[in-house]
């Protein structure tokens, strides 16, 4: 008996293989597009939240004397405040508010995210003219997958400083 190279079995197998490859390619392209759209929208969300948090930090917060009314050792009373570091004039920062935020983040870091209006992890540094303050968790010590950084010029005690805000995430696609 002689074997035929182009038998119906071989043609049928090739057709099934080609159809499987077409379906697999179609699924792969759709998943890749979804992944790209999701990643770009989450980065965009993180960037917009970064800009909003910078504006909020330069403002006095709510109430404007929140650092005097908040109990630093009781995270339950932090829900009715909005943390801002300003004195009232945009970019003029308060030593007392910076100190309060720093102590609050050391006491209960997770609880400070809500009054800061943040859904992501954060690290805030204020440096310049012999000044060095920080609040939050430094992303360089974590397994970070996404970081967004913004810097703002400010004044502290009559001297220029730089406020740097880093929003970061270590979850897939920066989704919280």
Write down the pLDDT at residue 161. Answer: 92
First-residue to last-residue Cα distance in the chain: 67
Average pLDDT over every residue of 58-76: 86
Q: What is the pLDDT of residues 5-14, one digit of tens each?
A: 567 777 788 8
- pLDDT tens per residue across span 7-55: 777 778 888 888 888 888 777 776 665 555 444 445 567 777 777 778 7
Question: Which band of pLDDT confidence, cut at 50, 70 and 90, is reported for residue 58?
Answer: confident
> Can you give the pLDDT at residue 176?
44
Whether residue 143 has pLDDT greater than 80: no
Q: What is residue 41's predicted lDDT score, i.e. its pLDDT?
A: 44
Query: Rounded to an integer, what distance in angstroms lies between the CA atom of residue 68 and that of residue 56?
Result: 18
Segment 81-100, tens digit of pLDDT = 888 888 877 778 888 999 89
Distance CA 84, CA 60 (A): 5
Secondary structure in 3-state letters for 97-134: HHHHHHHHHHHCHHHHCCCCCCCCEEEEEEEECCEEEE
- Asked whether residue 129 carries a pLDDT value surpassing 80, the answer given is no
In the chain, % of residues over pLDDT 90: 5
pTM for the complete prediction? 0.68
Q: How many CB atoms lie within 10 A of CB 52?
A: 12
Share above pLDDT 70 across residues of the chain, in percent, rounded to a whole number: 84
């Amino acid at each position: 008996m002689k074997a035929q190279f182009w038998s119906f079995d071989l043609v049928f197998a090739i057709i099934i293989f080609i159809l499987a490859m077409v379906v697999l390619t179609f699924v792969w392209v759709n998943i890749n597009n979804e992944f790209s759209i999701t990643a770009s929208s989450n980065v965009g969300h993180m960037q917009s939240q970064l800009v909003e948090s910078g504006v909020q930090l330069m403002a006095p917060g709510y109430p404007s004397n929140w650092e005097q009314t908040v109990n630093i050792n009781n995270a339950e009373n932090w829900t009715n405040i909005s943390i801002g570091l300003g004195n009232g004039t945009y970019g003029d920062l308060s030593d007392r508010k910076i100190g309060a935020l720093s102590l609050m983040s050391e006491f209960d870091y997770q609880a400070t995210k809500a009054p800061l209006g943040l859904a992501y992890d954060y690290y805030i540094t204020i440096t310049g003219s012999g000044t060095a303050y920080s609040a939050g968790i430094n992303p360089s010590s974590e397994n970070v997958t996404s970081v967004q950084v913004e810097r703002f010029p400010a004044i502290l005690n009559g001297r220029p400083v730089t406020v740097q805000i880093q929003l970061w995430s270590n979850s897939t696609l920066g989704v919280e």
